[in-house]
């Protein structure tokens, strides 16, 4: 597991302000953050697909 202050290749570094500003305080690893971001992206895509289906 990779901590939030470790940056695997291709990862966007987070500064102290960004880490402190995370809405979900239970996120402690890069993997957890990546999973949460992916779920958010999928949710947004599903919402857009639902809107597009109405037209």
Give the pTM: 0.73
Q: Do residues 4 and 14 lie in contact, with contact meaning Cβ atoms separated by under 8 Å?
A: yes
* pLDDT class of 49 with cuts at 50, 70, 90: very high
Work out how many domains the chain is built from and give that number: 1
Residue 5's domain comprises 1-55
Report the first-to-last Cα separation within the chain, whole angstroms.
44
* pLDDT of amino acid 2: 73
Residue 51 pLDDT > 90:
yes
pLDDT in tens, 10-43: 888 888 898 888 888 899 998 999 999 999 999 9
């Amino acid at each position: 597991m990779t901590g939030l202050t470790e940056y695997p290749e291709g990862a966007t570094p987070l500064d102290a302000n960004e880490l402190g500003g995370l809405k979900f305080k239970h996120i402690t690893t890069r993997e957890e953050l990546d999973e949460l971001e992916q779920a958010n992206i999928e949710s947004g895509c599903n919402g857009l697909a639902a809107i597009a289906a109405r037209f």
